[in-house]
Amino acid sequence: MRTDTDCIFCKIVAGEIPCFKLYEDEHTLAFMDINPASTGHALAIAKAHWENIHEIPVELACACIATAQRIAGAAQTALSPDGINLLQANGPGAGQSVQHFHVHIMPRYAGDEHLKINWGLNPGDTDEIKAAYGKIAGCLG
């Protein structure tokens, strides 16, 4: 299995650093985030060291989503939040601080807009949308 001896999440997978483990299966691990952005904030990670969405094999990304879904269901039952965000960052520009693929499960509660992950519904410029669409669609092959 791919691993990185300098990676904090690989150390958690290896049991070298403790965590509040929620769930584990062959390919994934879920545990509580040590710096919770909200009550119940948890992470679903791949056990193997893949840096981001560009690197990880699709079946492992799917396994992480399946684990995130499982944790979200339990969090919904246990904590009755008003909603749950799943968040997954790729690269420093997106706020990724641990370079090991993971999905955040973030229960949301009324009045917690300080989390600043809500960008609101501001109508976009159709020409700008179309221009970005054309560029991305052109790279889908």
Q: How far apart are CA 46 and CA 55, in angstroms?
A: 12
Residue 35 binding result from ligand 5GP, Zn ion, none, given CB thresholds of 5 to 8 Å by partner type:
ligand 5GP
Collapsing DSSP states into helix, strand and coil, what is residue 7?
Answer: coil
The question of whether 41 is a catalytic residue gets the answer no
φ/ψ of residue 51, rounded to 5? -70, -45
Nearer to ligand 5GP, 17 or 117 (CB): 17
Interacting residues with ligand 5GP between 33 and 62 (CB under 6 A): 33-35
Q: Residue 33 CB, nearest distance to ligand 5GP (Å)? A: 5
Tokens of 10: 């690989």
Residue 4 binding result from Zn ion, ligand 5GP, none, given CB thresholds of 5 to 8 Å by partner type:
Zn ion
> What string of H, E and C letters represents the secondary structure of 74-138?
HHHHHHCCCEEEEECCCCHHHCCCCCCCEEEEEEECCCCHHHCCCCCCCCCCHHHHHHHHHHHHH
Q: Which residues bind Zn ion (CB under 5 A)?
A: 4, 7, 9-10, 49, 100
Q: Residue 33 CB, nearest distance to Zn ion (Å)? A: 16
Nearer to ligand 5GP, 20 or 133 (CB): 20
Residue 97 binding result from Zn ion, ligand 5GP, none, given CB thresholds of 5 to 8 Å by partner type:
ligand 5GP
